[in-house]
Structures are given as C-alpha cells and as structure tokens.
Chain A
Amino acid sequence: MVFNSLSFAIFLPIVLIGYYLLPFKGQNRFLLLASLVFYAWWDWRFLFLLGLTIVVDYYASHAIFRAETRKQKLMWLRVSLASNILVLSVFKYCNFFISSFQGVLTAIGFHVHPVTLQLALPIGISFYTFMSMSYVIDVYWGKFTPAEGFFDFALFVSYFPHLVAGPILRANQLLPQIMQPRRVTKEQIRDGLTLMLVGYARKVLIADMLAQYVDEAFRNIPGMTSMDLVVRLWLCAIQIYGDFAGYSDIARGVSKLFGIELHLNFATPLFSQNITEFWRRWHITLSSWLRDYVYIPLGGSREGEVKTYRNNMLTMLVSGLWHGANWTYIAFGAVHGIALMLHKAWMKITGNPVPKEFGTRPWTWSAPLRMFLTFNVFAFSLVLFRSPNFATAWQYLSRIATLTPGIHLGTTLFVVPFVLIGFSLDLAQYTGVGQRMIAGMGPVRRSIAFGALFALVLIAGSDNSLPFVYFQF
C-alpha cells in the first residue's frame, strides 16, 4: 500500500478509529496487525522475510543480553548480522554479485553463463533490516536493554508509517514510545495534518510533476540541448528530494496522529552551503546510521587524516550500495565521498573546522553562491543515480559537454510555478516562518489554507500518481 493511494485513504481512518477505541495494550497489537496488512497489501508472500528478521533479531538480542561472556555475545551478534546480511544479499544484491563476478571472469578471459535469480525486490527491505540490525548492535554495545515483549519489538520493526521508506529509527527513539502508554495532543494533530499535507504536496505537486520532464531527458538524450540536460538535472534533484522528503513528511505526520514521534529525516537540504552540511540535512536517519555503525567503528576521525579520508570514502561507498544493487549507485557514493574529502581538505587549508551542527545559518553575500554550488554537486551526481548504467550516464554528461546551444522552453516553463511552490515550502521550513504561521492560525483559517492545498493535491494526483522512488531501496 502506498500513501498516495485510495486504499490508504480508506485504511488510515479505519486504523485511527480502531486505535482510539482501544486501550493501550490492544493499541500496540492493533497497530502491529495494521502494519502487517499495510505491508501485505503489496505482496503478502514477503511477510515471511519481515517475520524472519523480527524473530531472529528478537531472540538474538535477548541471547546477547543474557550471555555471560563476550564471546557468547559476539556469537549471537554474528548470527543476527549474518541473518540480516543474508536476507539483503539474496533478495537485493544476489544478481549484482553474480553479474559483477561474471564481468571479472570475462575480463580475464573466462566466459561463463551463470544462473541469476528472478526475485522481486521486497519493498522497504533496506529500511527495516537496517533498523533491526542497529537494535541488535545497540544491545550488544550495552546501549539498550532489549524489549521485553515480542509484539513491542515486532511493532518497532514493522510500524507502518516508517516500514517501507523510513525514517530509519533507532531503538531509543521509537521503542520507549511503543512500550509506554501514549498521549496525543491537539498540537500533534495539527502538526501531523500539516506534515501530511506538505508531504503530499511535495510528492504530487512537485515530484510527480517534475518526473515526466526528467524521464523525458533520460529517454531522449540526443534530442536535448546541453542546457536542457542541465535544467533537467536540477529538476531531477528537486524531484528526488520532493519524492523522498514528501514520503518522510507523510510518515511523520501519520505517526503524530497516533501520538508517536518519528525522527526528522530532511532538514531543508537544498539550502545547504557545502556538501558536509548537505549530508547532515539529507536523509538524516541514514547518514547518522552510517556514521554510528560504519564510520565510527572504522575509526572515524580518530586515527589520523588519511584514515579519516578512507573512512569517509568507505562510508559513502556503503551508502551508494545501500541505495541500489548497481555499480552506478556505488559510483554515486564515491562521488559524494570525494566531494566530502575535498570539502574537509578545503576547510583544513582555510583553517575553519567543520562545525558539528549547522542549523539555520545567517545569510551572507556568498551564501546563495555556495548553495548553488552545493546544489549542483548533488544534481550532477544524480546522473549516476538516475542512469541505468554507466553508458547512459556517460552519454548524458558527454551531451552536456558538447555545449549544444539553445533550450527547449516549451512546456518546461510550466514547471516554474511548481518549483516555486516547493521552494516556498522549504523556505518557510528553513526560516521557521511556516511553523509560526500555522501555529498562529485559528481552526477556520487553517481549514481554508489546508483545504486549498489539499484541493491542488487532489487535482494533480487524480491522474498522475507515481510510486515513491525510495520504495526500491
């Protein structure tokens, strides 16, 4: 089931009514059942994979907690990690490994025809396995006491708002909210509805609207001028952002209606003034996951400059591979790894340490220029993200390099109002004006403002709904 579907529009009110009518214990069971229905709506056969992850990690975490020696703890950790990595390897990466191995053999003169698996990629597999893995690792590190109740843990992994496309939550962020009786406030309801509407607007009004122009560019590279291709890369950046941030907003908004807070996943990343800041604002829950479970265990920045750069690069390669089983995604990660290293080196040369937090930064004369540069680094890296193979990516970039004059304005001009809507939403969020405005509105004015936005979403989404891009990861 996807958030932008009629089935979800019927599903959510039913779940909300059921949830409000039940006492606390029943609520968790009911939410678990609803989450399984939500997942099974796409393909019920993959429930067993979700179930496998839940069962293995629940018992492994308890075994780790009860184990008396470090060796025993490590053994159970390995069981859990092996199980999760095996599931990911078989269902997401198997064909990639086989074809890469075949490529190596062909390169050294051996021609083989290996068998590949015709398996559908289970949606959300990268999200829920990462959540479950981090839980077990946290228990192993002694950061967290495992959840007593099996159903509480099952709900932590499968809670439907985050299940298929994140945010990737940690046990300490979500489990306490699941295990304790909850309260819902009117502010949460107001903010939840706001987030849902903003999310739908980002998805339907911006991402889906821009998708057709981006798709057209990648379908017909020779028919585009250099400027067309550059403009469509900018649109691609806004599309991917609108799609994924839109999903995260809806997920957070829906969850607030149940009184459960999900972690912020996007903090206006397109206003970032450098690439380090970008990755602290973009897909925050994945970035912080990689920081805590890949970068820091590799040594982080504690073992000298060269190893810091190496760790940065390895982390970004893992990030690329997380996005998809394709060398283009790994190259996407590599480009960002290089960009992060260059930024770190530049900060060192100029004598400015990279700040720990960025927040809303004061505007300087150079801020727009730095934002534009950072935005372009991201947009151009999306050639790799969006191309099915290196040949297409190379064709795209080569065509830009021909500097073919002209631009097909045509219907592309039509996207300007939608880009402006997206920009306004982000600017309102970045400056905090949006939040203040909504908080200051009475119920009537809010209904009118939100109703107008909802009308636009209904009209735009009535004949143009596309699945969320990040479902494939």
Chain B
Amino acid sequence: MKEPFIIEHGSEFRSLTLSALGIGVVAYALIAVLVFSVPHLPLANKRTFYGLLRAQMAVDLGETLPGTGKGMVLFLGSSVVERGLSETIADSVFHSEQLPLETMNAGTGGFSAEANLPMFRAMLEDGLQPKYVVYGVSIQELNGASTVHAFFETKDTSSVKLKPKTLWNILRYGPTALAPLMSGDHFHQYIFAANNAFRDVPNLNLVNRIMFGENMPPRDSAYVFNPTYWNDLREILTLCKARGIHVALYNAPLRKRAPDEVDIPYEHRGESYQHIFALAKKEQIPLWNFDQAGRFAYSEFQDNYHLAPLGAHRISAMLADSIARWRNGSLSQDGIETLE
C-alpha cells in the first residue's frame, strides 16, 4: 500500500496548519483589541446593543465606584429619562449637599418597563448594587407600545444576560458585538446610542432627526393600559426591595399638545398617573410627580414629552434635591392621588 499523502507532504501540511492558525490568531487578536478599545461595548448582538450599552456602562461604573466611597443613584426609564436627566447637574447637587452619591443615567430610548426589566436583571446578575434606583415614568410607560421583543428577539426576556468579558466570551461574542460597526442599518443606531450615552442631555440635532425621524406615539384614541407592563414595572421594584436598594418613581412632565405638533395621549395622563400612584402606594415607595401645570415652561420641552436640555437640567436638580430630602427623611411621597 502506498504511503499516506502526509508523509510526502508533511512540510506542506505544516504550512497549511500554521497559516490557518496564524490568520485565525491575528484575526481574533484584532477583535479582542477592538472589543476592549470600544468603551462599555456589551457582548450583545446588534439589536440588543442599544439597551445593553447603558446596562454595561452602569456595570462598569458600579465596579469603580466602591473605591471612591460613593454609592450609585441609578436612573431607569425610556428616552424621557435618557434625554431628560443630566448626570452632571444631579451630581453637582449631591456634591454641594456633601452626599457621597454618583448618578448613572441608564434610561434607554424605546425601552419601557418590560425592556428595562431584563436589562436591570442583567445588571443585578452582573453584581451591580446601586444605592438608589429612580424610575422615570412617561405617558408611554404602561400602554403596551414598546418594541422590546423586536430588540431582544424573544418574548422570554429572562434569558437576556450581560456577558462578562472573559477571553472565551470575547472569542465567542466579539464579532457579534462589533457587528453594528459593519452594517449600515445598525451603525447609525450605534452612533446614535453612543452619541446619547456619552453626552450630557443632548438636544436632538438635525442629523439625529434625519436618522431616526420623529416619535409617533399613539394618540388618545389608541391609548390602552397594559397590566403586563405594570407588572413588569412592579417586578423592577420588587427586585430592588429584595436587594435592599432604595427605589422611587417619578412621573415625567408633559407639554400640552399644540395643533401642529406630533400627537400624544395627553388626555390619558390622569389615568396613567393613577396606575402609577396605585403601584407606589401598594409597594410603599415614593412617587414624585412633575406633571403639574406651570412647573415646566413650554420652551423647556423638545417636543410634547421629551425635555430640552434647559428643562432636563432643571428636573435633574429637582430630582437630586428630592433624593437628598428622601435620604434625610424629610420627603417620602407627594401625596397627590390624581393630577389636577
């Protein structure tokens, strides 16, 4: 019988093996360097990237804070929080009041309670232990209009995890984590998310508007209360209480619609508030209401429910002040059961 091919071609086989290994090692080394170079890059697929960037930022901050002797105030919610809360302003209030607290804004555009729940769960599983959690509730919060399942591609959001950046995870998930950089559809989402995440209360500029268009929330006629979302919000509160995290809710302000503006379910704000109030009462947690007539000027809004930087700076100071008073026991709840 003739000799096996490899005896005659030992050198060629070695060349093939070494070349393939060399290419693979260089490729993965580059991917690992990129994964570590992009700040807070979550090991997620490109659809979950948007929300998990915030979660990863919170986890990364949570790892460095204990060394500074500070506790974290974690804000959760939708774009109303994402674009409506200045970490800088809130921290300056804490600093002036000599409170050892630091703010993390993990609000994510398009994410209401059922999207925030898996994100928050993932943060907790990754060891995050904030001192306070403050959830900003908007008119969109409980109406069942979230896009979460499209983001996470599963209805079972309990499976959404933050993956630690171990070498194996980087080899396994590194390419998918970087995939948003290579796809037009997701690259602009990546830029948008990064732009929002690393800027203090951004004002939507023309490029942002071109990229994402306008929000089209349901009108009054389409508004429905969705108890599933209410339960998800309640689950977030339960998770906090079970871990000894102080938790509060705040009701975000709305601007009365003008005829030429994009509609919102303004007439249902009272109904929405009552559900939130009932939840706060049931869980015995503070609820701070900012949706009061005249509290925010028309010019402090970007649209009907997103604050402009001016309004965001003011509400941030108010929220920080509320947290400070809550901390020293002089404030618990507004006590207003219904809106005027």
Residues of A participating in the B interface, judged by any CB pair closer than 8 Å: 13, 16, 19-25, 27, 183-186, 189-190, 193, 197, 205, 209, 212-213, 257, 410-412, 414-415, 443-444, 446-448, 450-452, 454-456, 458-464
Contact = CB atoms under 8 A, between A and B. Distances in A.
A158 to B, nearest CB: 21
A391 to B, nearest CB: 28
Contact of B179 (A16, A20, A460): A460
Q: Which of A186, A443, A455, A462 has the most CB of B within 10 A?
A: A455
A451 B188 contact: no
Q: Which of A19, A452, A456 has the most CB of B within 10 A?
A: A456
A21 B4 contact: yes
B184 A451 contact: no
A87 B27 CA distance: 44
B206 to A, nearest CB: 13
Interface string B185-216: 10110000000000000000000001100000
A216 to B, nearest CB: 10
A13 B27 CA distance: 18
Given A209-B182, A212-B185, A463-B179, A20 B13 contact: yes
Contacts of A463: 45-46, 176, 179, 183
Contacts of B145: none
A455 B27 contact: yes
A459 B19 CA distance: 20
B9 interface: yes
Contact of A20 (B4, B18, B27): B4
Nearest to B33: A455
Q: Which of A189, A412, A448 has the most CB of B within 10 A?
A: A189
Contacts of B210: 410
B167 interface: no
A193 B23 contact: yes
Contacts of A443: 18-19, 22
Helix, strand, loop or mixed for chain A's interface?
helix
A414 B187 contact: yes
B179 A464 contact: yes
Nearest to B10: A20
Interface in B43-76: 45-46
Interface in B1-41: 1-6, 8-9, 11-13, 15-16, 18-20, 22-31
A455 B31 contact: yes
B22 A22 contact: no
Contacts of B6: 20-21
Contact of A450 (B23, B45, B179, B185): B23
Interface of B: 1-6, 8-9, 11-13, 15-16, 18-20, 22-31, 45-46, 175-176, 178-179, 181-185, 187-188, 210-211
Nearest to B16: A189
A459 B181 contact: yes
Contact of A186 (B1, B12, B184): B12
B184 A414 contact: yes
B179 A454 contact: no
A236 to B, nearest CB: 16
A257 B16 contact: yes
A411 B184 contact: yes
B141 to A, nearest CB: 30
Contacts of B185: 212, 411
Given A209-B184, A450-B26, A16 B16 contact: yes
Contacts of B46: 463
A464 B183 contact: yes
A193 B19 contact: yes
B12 A184 contact: yes
Contacts of B23: 193, 197, 447, 450-451, 454
Contacts of B176: 462-463
Contacts of B182: 205, 209, 456, 459-460, 464
27 contacts: A21-B4, A23-B2, A24-B2, A189-B12, A189-B16, A193-B16, A212-B183, A212-B185, A257-B16, A410-B211, A411-B185, A411-B187, A414-B187, A450-B22, A450-B26, A451-B22, A451-B23, A451-B26, A452-B26, A452-B30, A454-B24, A455-B27, A455-B28, A459-B181, A460-B183, A463-B179, A464-B182
A462 B28 CA distance: 13
Nearest to B180: A463
A28 to B, nearest CB: 11
Contacts of A213: 184
A433 B31 CA distance: 28
A174 to B, nearest CB: 19
Given A189-B12, A452-B27, A24 B5 contact: yes
B19 A458 contact: no
Contacts of A456: 182
A463 B2 CA distance: 46
Contacts of B4: 20-23
B14 to A, nearest CB: 10
A180 to B, nearest CB: 13
Nearest to A414: B184
A59 B17 CA distance: 40
Nearest to B32: A455
Nearest to A197: B23
B175 to A, nearest CB: 4
A458 B179 CA distance: 9
B187 to A, nearest CB: 6
B12 to A, nearest CB: 5
A193 B27 contact: no
A149 B50 CA distance: 59
Given A443-B18, A443-B22, 10 more contacts: A20-B4, A185-B12, A189-B16, A410-B211, A447-B26, A450-B23, A455-B28, A459-B182, A462-B176, A463-B183
B184 A458 contact: no
Nearest 6 interchain pairs by C-beta: A451-B26, A447-B22, A414-B184, A462-B175, A411-B184, A454-B27
A19 B31 contact: no
A410 B212 CA distance: 11
Given A411-B184, A450-B26, A452-B27, A23 B1 contact: yes
Nearest to B175: A462
B184 A447 contact: no
A333 B24 CA distance: 42
A315 B175 CA distance: 45
A23 B5 contact: yes
Nearest to A448: B26
Contacts of B30: 451-452, 455
